[in-house]
Structure 1
Amino acid sequence: SSNSETEIPPTPDHAARGQTEESIVKAGALQSAIFNSANFSSIATDAKGVIQIFNVGAERMLGYAAAEMINTITPADISDPQELISRARALSSELATPIEPGFEALVFKASRGIEDIYELTYIRKDGTRFPAVVSVTALRDAAGVIIGYLLIGTDNTARKLVEEEQKKSDQRLRDQQFYTRSLIESNIDALMAIDPKGIITDVNKQAEALTGCTRDELIGAPFKDCFTDPVRAEAGINRVLSETSVTDYELTARARDGKQTVVSYNATTYYDRNRTLQGVFAAARDITESKRVEGELQRARSDAESASRTKSDFLASMSHEIRTPMNAIMGIADLLAKTQLTPEQDKYVQIFRRSGDNLLNLINDILDLSKVEASQLDLEQIGFSLKDHLEKVIEMVAPRAHEKGLTLVCAIAPGVSNDLVGDPTRLRQVLLNLLGNAIKFTPSGTVTLNVEPNGDGPGPTFLRFTVADTGIGIPEEKLGRVFERFTQADSSTTRRFGGSGLGLTISRRLVELMGGGIWVESVVDKGSVFGFSVPFEVWSETDRPAALPVGVGAETQLPALRILLAEDSPDNCTIALAYLEDTPYRVDVAENGAIACQMFKTGQYDLVLMDRQMPAMDGLTATRTIRAWEKSQDRPAIPIIALTASALKGDRETCLAAGCTAYLTKPIKQEVLLRAIRDFSTPSPGPSPLLDDATARTRRRLAERTPAYLRNCRQNVIDMDSALDRSDFEAVTIIGHNLRGSGGGFGFQAITDIGAGLEAAAGKSDRAASRKWVVELSRYLDRTETVF
């Protein structure tokens, strides 16, 4: 034999065995890798539950080393004891067999061949806990005998956190839904959600009560079917969809039992988080009661306005009825005073005059108070000289002061502007009331009027006026009542000094109307101080009008103008033509608005004087027609000055809105008309002749035409009688309006007043009142025509 080694090729049996060993090695490595994975814990026990394998994942999750656990404890020793008890109790009930709350509770199902995956809480070495999901499998030998158990667990902390957050989120959502539902259900309005097709998707209890249907019956039903007017209801939803919201949309809901309820809907569109339109959310409020209250208020307001108009008409009528004879009485008294009288007769005449004067003052006070309370008293804003104004006031009260031997003083403090813008007439009325009272209640001594800047006012043009006297004074407890209507300090004051107590009430109202305040201080037997402060504007040089083109000598020159006068009243035409006769103005007359429009289109006019109230076409319609024609012809707007006998609130704004350039109230003074023409005209080229003093000639010319005017008024009486016989109130209204505009122009203010009364009475189709005014005009003409 040889000692050399010979390689013997492997037999097939050897090769197979080698492959098997290699597979076993690989399988062992795979098992080792699985058991030592850090992503899950692998704990294997023997049949009694004592730990035999404790992998790397178990070490990392629980903080124990494998050597500390193997052959030492069971998995029950690292589990929550309370959970073991609960699990044992639950399994005992489920499987109808007693189970101990230890390791048996963890593996009982697996020992019976039942797949078992459950959640439990593991306790780490440091005492901290974490949730785990455990899968339990029984390990058996070839004979099927259990030799141990394998518990594979994963850390469930992250999932638990997610679940907890989800639970919290779900709870918040449920809370929010409950809160939202509570809001919806507690709302006093009937709420409905409607999809874009008009189908109801949700309602609250109020909507159920409104319709008499349940929530289930309403959801899925058309919104429009809940109302008496389905077309209007559907239009409301469409309007919301197009405009995104609608407010105070009125509908009448119809319940199942036929009950109808007027509701006001407020609705808006709503969207999801992606801004996709979901539908309309609508809230309906029952306004049946508010409509009833509104109707009652409207009726009450109408009744109050009617009562106020009736009172104003009555006061105006009574004022006129009393003033007319009182003027005659006072005139005769004045004439008597100038004749040769015995001392006794003169005494009686003076009493006569004073009583008449007191009565007229009372009438004026009552009328002014009624106008203030009815908000019918408008303030002027015109420029005036404070010094000149106060001088006139002092001149008016000086005779009464001198009769009583009183010293009358007027002082204007330095720094008070003389040139002011405000309402001098109402300022004078307040000053006359306060000065008159001071003189009346001062037996001897001094009455002083002081004017000074009001340091407490918000601006430099707030002025303080004080009227101080050395008279009888007012008790302190009476001071708070002196500005009340028909109030004086006590009844003995009225007996001693006379008067109604209305003057101070009117003064307070006028001062408040002017934007100021009034007050009083007084000491009995020492005197009183009445004061008030009101705002004014300063009348700057640039605001002042230039000299008028009449009466200022050889005015100044006037440009040649061609003027169109639209006026249906012959008398008012006469006045206007007389005013303009001595000017270089050429005036054409149109009898109504329709004729004025035709003439304007064919003529070349520099300015239009437009009466507001005319037959066929009124002045405002004519103005709008002219403005439209100018625009269509691409022509510049010619000045149009509105002339009207009405001076109600809003008239000026109405005229300007129609296209008028300016607004004048009849009866119009000559200088006012000339100034308006000058300020607003755009003259055409032409000669400019000089004018002398035309005012006096105009007055003479109107005086020459007065008899003809009075004859026209007499014919108006006949025409109105005939019109009233056939109930033609429109004709009477027109004649009254014309009289209202023309009377003052001819110097007959009474005819203007009567015309206003006729216009008002006929405008309300009040035959009796209209007859009364016609009779009054006739009587006035009887008295007046004898003079002319």
Structure 2
Amino acid sequence: MIRQTNETAGIDDAIPEAGQPKALLREALQNAIFNSANFSSIATDANGVIQIFNVGAERMLGYEAADVMNNITPADLSDPQELIARAEALSAELDTPITPGFEALVFKATRGIEDIYELTYIRKDGSRFPAVVSVTALRDPQNNIIGYLLIGTDNTARKQVEADQAKLDQRLRDQQFYTRSLIESNIDAIIATDPSGIISDVNKQMEALTGCTRDELIGAPMKNFFTDPQRAEAGIKRVLNEKKVTDYELTARAWDGKETVVSYNATTFYDRDRKLQGVFAAARDVTDRKHLDVELEDAKSVAEKASLAKSDFLSSMSHELRSPLNAILGFGQLMESESPPPTDSQKESIAQILQAGWHLLTLINEILDLSKVESGKVPLSREPVLLSEVMLECQSMVEPQAQERGIRMTFPQSDTPYFIHADRTRVKQIMINLLTNAIKYNSAKGEIEVEYTESAPGRLRISIKDSGAGLTPEQLEQLFEPFNRLGQENGSEEGTGVGLVVSKRLVELMGGTIGAESSLGAGSVFWFELALVAEPALTKRESTIEGDDAEASAQPTHEPREVRPCTLLYIEDNPANMKLVEQITARHPNISLLTAATGNSGIDTACEALPDLILMDINLPDINGFEALNILREDPATTHIPVIAISANAMPEDIERGLKAGFFRYITKPIKVDEFINALSEALGFAEKDSAKSAQEPKLS
């Protein structure tokens, strides 16, 4: 039994009277303390040899009291490395050498210094656990040390809590670092404000944008850093009302006066209790984009002006070229059909004139067509198109040319009706272009094979294979270049080098692809692919009507008809064109021709002579043909007279405008004599029916 020391001297006073002797109560209290299982109590003699090893110590360390009492010191239960480290630390702290071992555990207690420290205890089974140990020196009445008391508690739970807390703290630091990194790595200036617009945080980009440090920015009103503070403040209020704002444009101003246009995007943010904390905003520098937008707008304007100028130029060029061509081809046609007929030598010369003239007209048309296609102004009417019908029409159009050259053509015979999603007119244009090329560049008495197959689900490939000389790989690469005839410029075949380019653009506009395969001596295969569509549902009546229309459209153009007796007024300022029409009408004695060189004189002549039909040029020296037509329509005496436009303005929009204005027909120069006479016959027939109808209507008295 350890003797009572000064540390336990007050126990008698602390024990109340309970009807038991104080000595018994004291003994019970001491036993309760030393035998507590919640902490270890180890008492040693002055040399450190264990004298008391309570139940708590047995539970914590796994030793029986008998195993350690009078055998070992507490140092033998501790981590040796920690004892060495403790001895070194104390030696440095107290400036005296201390031996590792028990002395290191009790040195401070021997000096009367309170000593509570952490160490690692080693259990009997070798396992370890952290403990907090309090060391007290036990003294006799003469204040001599007679032993030491080491009271320890298992610190594992607290250490685990500390470790968990350390992990949480580290995780929080990592999260804060990650969040900060995200904010700092953003290309936008990031600003966080409280609900009143006071800055609470910024990133480096905001510092660069304003030229201020983070400390200077935090706590300042955000609106102060923009050229329009009221608009900036309104942006904050809008975010608070609408929860977010996107693409709100502001101009930031740095302390040195530099201004930067920014796109402001913001949202509100809250704490975990959904309490509003403020506004989180990102301001992106869009100065370069604004400049680029202006540049793009300027470039677009320049391009539009250039496109308009190009269209105007092409339209003007077309007009200027068609006018002389009208005389060349018109008089050439008259000479070809002269009576008595020309001599063989004259026929050959006339044929050369006409061939060159028509080729020049083709070139003009194809250049205009290319211009329209490249500008994307080609009107397309995409619908289900029955391919077999288009094939028949194309076959009938090119077969005479093939027969003339002794070329055999083979078209597919299929019971399956294939419908492609395309513009019918443009598909015919593409097919005729490819077929014409296959004929022109084929070998003598060669072959052309047309076929179509499903190249992929929902796609149909139309192929035109010829038996010509073929193309080299270099020529294939240049195939779709404008005006590149691949060395055929000096050949016998005429061409422009434009047809394939136009075909390629048209195919692509209809969502398709086009290509070619060829090798020298083995001919070529030109193909294009378009989307397949389901057969449209038609009623029997609709099918019959459509079939009738198709059959009618497939009929060849009728022969020129003789014109019934009539008076024809031609308003034209070009003497050559006037002379041409005079000579054409001279071959028809039934036609009496009147002429006028200006719009106003033509109107006067029309009002006086009341002709059966009027031919009107559009570009007249005083008023244009549209103005003249309106005047004629407003006069009851001339409103019924059919007016046919004859003009070198041959762009599709020109023709459309003319027909909408009320011209009976719109004939483009150069005119084809047969078509011209047919148009006269149709107009006179229409006028005759209109007159008869008017005569039958009851007259109002």
TM-score range, shorter chain: 0.7 to 0.9
Question: Does the aligned pair in 2 maintain the 1:38–1:56 contact within 8 Å?
Answer: yes
CA distance in 2: counterparts of 1:132 and 1:526, whole angstroms: 96
Q: Are 1:383 and 1:544, in contact at CA under 8 Å, matched by a contact in 2? A: no
Give the 3 Å change call, closer, same or farther, for CA 316–377 of structure 1 in structure 2.
same
1:489 aligns with 2:486: yes
Residues 648-672 of structure 1 show CA distances to partners (whole Å, capped at 9, x for unaligned) of xxxxxxxxxxxxxxxxxxxxxxxxx
Structure 1 residue 413: deviation in Å? 2.0
1:80 offset after TM fit, Å? 2.5
- CA distance in 1 between counterparts of 2:283 and 2:505 reads 45
SS in 1 for 2:281: strand
Query: 1:748 aligns to what?
Result: 645
- Measured after TM superposition, the shift of residue 367 of structure 1 is 0.8
Contact 1:421 1:539 in 2 (8 A): no
Q: Distance in 2 between matches of 1:443 and 1:148?
A: 125
Matched residue, 1:426: 426
Is the aligned partner of 1:215 residue 2:231? no
The residue identity in structure 2 corresponding to 1:321 is E
Identity across the alignment (%): 55
Cα distance change of structure 1 residues 715 and 417 upon mapping to structure 2, 3 Å threshold? farther
Amino acid corresponding to residue 748 of structure 1 in structure 2: A
**Map of 2:262 onto structure 1:** 263
How far off its partner does 1:76 sit?
Answer: 2.4
What are the residue-to-residue correspondences of 1:652-731 with 2, within 5 Å?
Answer: 707=614, 717=624
Q: Which amino acid in the other structure matches residue 510 of structure 1?
A: L
Unaligned residue ranges in structure 2 (runs of 5+): 1-16, 550-609, 658-667, 685-701
Q: Deviations over 1:70-90 (max 9, x none)?
A: 223322232223333333333
Structure-1 residue corresponding to 2:511: 515
The CA RMSD measured in Å over matched residues stands at 4.0
- TM-score, normalised relative to structure 2: 0.73
Q: Could you tell me which residue of structure 1 aligns to residue 382 of structure 2? A: 381
Indicate how the Cα distance of structure 1 residues 437 and 217 shifts in structure 2: closer, same or farther if over 3 A, else same.
Answer: same
What letter is aligned with 1:376? K
Please give the residue correspondences for 1:23-102 in structure 2 after superposition, counting only pairs within 5 Å.
23-102=22-101
Matches of 1:214 and 1:443, distance apart in 2: 82
What do residues 435-493 of structure 1 show as CA deviations (whole Å, max 9, x unaligned)?
322333346314536243x221432xx544333444444345423322221112315x5
Tell me which amino acid in the other structure corresponds to 1:250: E
Q: Which structure is richer in relative contact order (CA contacts within 8 A, separation 6 or more)?
A: 2
- 8 Å CA contact 1:193–1:279 kept in 2: the answer is yes
* Structure 1 contact 451–463 (Cα < 8 Å) conserved: no
Higher mean C-alpha displacement, 127-136 vs 370-379: 127-136
Separation in 2, partners of 1:546, 1:95? 115
Q: Structure 1 counterpart of 2:361, which letter?
A: L
User: What amino acid sits opposite 1:508 in the alignment?
Assistant: K
Deviation per residue, 1:120-157 (Å, 9 max, x gap): 22222222222111122232333443332222111111
- SS for the counterpart of 2:260 is strand
Aligned with 1:220: secondary structure? coil
Contact 1:192 1:207 survives alignment (8 Å) = yes
The equivalent residue for 1:366 is: 367
Partner of 1:302: 301
In the alignment, structure 1 segments of 5+ residues that lack a partner are: 1-17, 553-702, 722-733, 761-776
> Do the aligned partners of residues 20 and 536 (structure 1) sit closer, same or farther apart at CA in structure 2, a change above 3 Å counting?
closer
| CA distance in structure 2 between the aligned counterparts of 1:396 and 1:358, rounded to whole angstroms | 18
CA contact (8 A) 2:319 2:648 kept: no
Aligned mates of 2:364, 2:235 — CA distance in 1 = 57
1:156 counterpart residue number: 155
Cα distance in structure 2, aligned partners of 1:755 and 1:532: 26
Question: Which residue identity lines up with residue 409 of structure 2 in the other structure?
Answer: V
Residues 367-414 of structure 1, C-alpha deviations (whole Å, 9 max, x = no match): 111111111112113566655544443443344444x44245352321
d(CA) in 2 for partners of 1:545 and 1:277?
A: 68
Retained in 2: the 8 A contact 1:266–1:284?
yes
Q: Which amino acid aligns with 1:362?
A: L
Match of 2:136 in 1: 137
Q: Residues 70-117 of structure 1: CA distance to partner in whole angstroms, max 9, x if unpaired?
A: 223322232223333333333344344444433333233333333222
Residue 202 of structure 1: how far off its partner (Å):
0.9
Match of residue 622 from structure 1: none
Q: What is the CA distance between 1:268 and its match in structure 2?
A: 3.0
Secondary structure of the 1:122 match is: strand
Counterpart of 1:330?
A: 329
Give the paired residue count: 575
Q: Does 1:291 align with 2:290?
A: yes
Q: Is the 8 A contact 2:250 2:261 kept in 1?
A: yes
In 1, distance between residues paired with 2:333 and 2:502?
Answer: 28
Is the 8 Å Cα contact of residues 450 and 466 (structure 1) preserved in structure 2? Answer: yes
Change (3 A) 1:408 1:337: farther
Give the secondary-structure state (helix, strand or coil) at the position aligned to 2:190: strand
In the alignment, does 2:243 pair up with 1:346? no
Distance 1:530 1:109, change over 3 A: closer
Q: Residues 390, 117 of structure 1: CA spacing in aligned structure 2 closer, same or farther, 3 A cutoff?
A: closer
1:355 corresponds to: 356
Alpha-carbon distance in 1 for matches of 2:239, 2:188: 18
Which amino acid is the alignment partner of residue 357 of structure 2?
A: G
Q: Please state if 1:176 is matched with 2:184.
A: no
CA 758–193 in structure 1, closer or farther in 2 if over 3 Å, else same: farther
On the 8 A contact 2:462/2:528 being kept in 1, the answer is yes
Distance 2:18 2:272 in 1: 65
Counterpart residue identity of residue 187, structure 2: I
In structure 2, what is the equivalent of residue 465 of structure 1?
462
Separation of aligned partners in 1, 2:207 and 2:312: 54
Q: Using a 3 Å threshold, how does the CA distance of structure 1 residues 712 and 359 change in structure 2: closer, same or farther?
A: closer
CA contact (8 A) 1:47 1:147 kept: yes
- Evaluate the alpha carbon distance shift between residue 84 and residue 383 of structure 1 in structure 2; reply closer, same or farther with a 3 A threshold: closer
Aligned to 1:247, what secondary structure does the other structure show?
strand
72 and 383 in structure 1: CA distance in 2 versus 1, 3 angstrom threshold: closer
The answer (yes or no) to whether the contact 1:196–1:278 under 8 Å persists in 2 is yes
User: CA distance change for structure 1 residues 394 and 747 in 2, over 3 Å: closer, same or farther?
Assistant: farther
SS in 2 for 1:377: coil
Deviation sequence 1:519-567 (CA, Å, 0-9, x none): 334455664443333335434314985999xx99xxxxxxxxxxxxxxx
Please tell me whether the aligned partners of residues 133 and 153 of structure 1 are also in contact (alpha carbons under 8 angstroms). yes
Alignment correspondent of 2:11: none
The C-alpha deviation readout for 1:482-525, integer Å capped at 9, x for no partner, is 2221112315x544222221112212222222232333344556
Which residue identity lines up with residue 224 of structure 1 in the other structure?
Answer: K
Q: Quick one: distance in 1 between partners of 2:198 and 2:410? A: 81
The 1:43–1:401 alpha-carbon spacing in structure 2 relative to 1, beyond 3 Å, is closer
Cα deviation per residue 1:187-244 (whole Å; 9 max; x = unaligned)? 3322222222211111112211111111111011111111112222223233333343
Q: 329-338 vs 357-366, which deviates more?
A: 329-338
Moved more, 80-89 or 203-212: 80-89
Distance 1:364 1:152 in 2: 111
| C-alpha spacing 1:93/1:533, structure 2 compared with 1 (3 Å) | closer
CA–CA distance in 2 between the matches of 1:516 and 1:755? 24
Q: Structure 1 residue 161: deviation in Å? A: 1.5
The one-letter code matched in structure 1 to 2:412 is I
Asked if 1:504 corresponds to 2:505, the answer is: no
1:139-178 CA distances to partner (integer Å, 9 max, x unpaired)? 2333443332222111111111211222222222223322
SS of the counterpart of 1:456? strand
Q: Deviations over 1:556-613 (max 9, x none)?
A: xxxxxxxxxxxxxxxxxxxxxxxxxxxxxxxxxxxxxxxxxxxxxxxxxxxxxxxxxx
CA gap of 1:391–1:186, structure 2 versus 1, over 3 A, is closer
**1:686 aligned partner:** none
Equivalent residue letter for 1:58 = A
In the alignment, the residues of structure 2 paired with residue 78 and residue 332 of structure 1 have an alpha-carbon distance, to the nearest angstrom, of 129
| C-alpha deviation, 1:333, in angstroms | 1.7
**Separation in 1 of the partners of 2:213 and 2:330?**
85
Residue equivalent to 2:127: 128
Give, as a single letter, the amino acid of the residue that structure 2 aligns with 1:440.
K
Shift in Å at residue 420 of structure 1?
6.8
CA distance in 2, matches of 1:121, 1:57: 16
